[in-house]
Amino acid sequence: MKSLLPFFAILFYLSGTAQSLMGARSSGMGSLTAATEGINGLFANQAALASLESIAFIGVSEQKVLIKGLNISGVGVALPSKSGTFGLTFSNFGFSEFRQQKVGLSYARKLWQNISIGAQVDYFQTRIPEYGSNGTLTFELGLMAELAEGLLIGTHISNPYQIEIAPDDNFPTTVRVGLMYSVSNRASAGFEFEKDVDFPLRVKFGVEYLPIERLALRTGFSSNPANFHLGFGILVGGKFSIEMATRYNQELGMTPVAGFVYSLKSYDL
C-alpha cells in the first residue's frame, strides 16, 4: 500500500481536492465557502475578511478519507487595519514521497458599505524526491456583497490563468458562486455552485443552527462526488471556538476535520 500512496496523493491533487483546504465550519456545512463571512475567508473567499473587526487566528486539519499520508493542515492569521484586512496562511499536504506546501498572502477591503473585494497571492512548493522540487506562483480573487439584510452573495475564482504545476499539468481553475441567508440570529442556510474547468459542476447545500448561544450544529450535502456533511462548533470563553466536522463519501469513506478559531475580541459562532 505504501508504494501506491504517491499515486493517490497526485490523483487527489490533480482532481482539485488535495489543496482545497477550508475551515471546519465550511466542511460541516456542505463545503460552502463563497458566501461565508469572517476568518474562514483565509482558506476560501478572501473578500470575507473585510468584515473582521479584530485580529483573528484559524487552524484546521483534515485526514482525507482516513488514508495515512493524505493529511492536509493549515494555519492563518488576519489583521484588520484602517486601509483593509491583511492575511497570511500556511498549509501543508503530503508525506515523504510527495509533499506540497502553500503560503498565501491576502488582502481585503470594503469598496462600499455592502460590497467587499479580496485577493490572495499563493506560492506552492511541491517536492517529489525522484523528480525534485518546483515552486509556483498563482493567485485568487473574491467578491462579496450584502443583497439585503441577512442575505449574502459571494463569488471566488482561483488560478484563473491555468498556471502549470509541470508540463501538461495545471493547477485547478475553480469558480464558486454562492448565497448565504441568515434566517435569524440562530439559523442560516446557503447553497453554492462550484465549477472546476476540468470536472463537472458541483452543487452544495448547508445549514447551521444554534440551539444555544455557544453551540452551533451544522449539516450539508455536496455533489460530484456526493458527500454528506456534519459538524459542530463550541464557543469557549467568548473568544475561542473548537470546530469539528466530517465528510462522508459512500465509496471513499470519511474525512474527519478539526479546527479552531481565536479572536482577540469577542467572537460569535
Are the C-beta atoms of 194 and 204 separated by less than 8 Å?
yes
Are the C-beta atoms of 53 and 261 separated by less than 8 Å?
no
Please give the biggest Cα pair distance in the chain.
55
Query: Could you give the CA distance from residue 92 to residue 221 in angstroms, rounded to a whole number?
Result: 26
Are the C-beta atoms of 182 and 150 separated by less than 8 Å?
yes
List pLDDT tens digits, range 199-255.
Answer: 899 999 999 999 999 999 999 999 998 999 999 999 998 899 999 999 999 888 899
Query: Domain 2-263 adopts which CATH fold?
Result: Porin (2.40.160)
Query: Could you give the CA distance from residue 264 to residue 267 in angstroms, rounded to a whole number?
Result: 8
Please tell me the pTM assigned to this model.
0.88
List pLDDT tens digits, range 51-86.
Answer: 999 999 999 999 887 777 778 999 999 999 999 999
Are the C-beta atoms of 138 and 122 separated by less than 8 Å?
yes
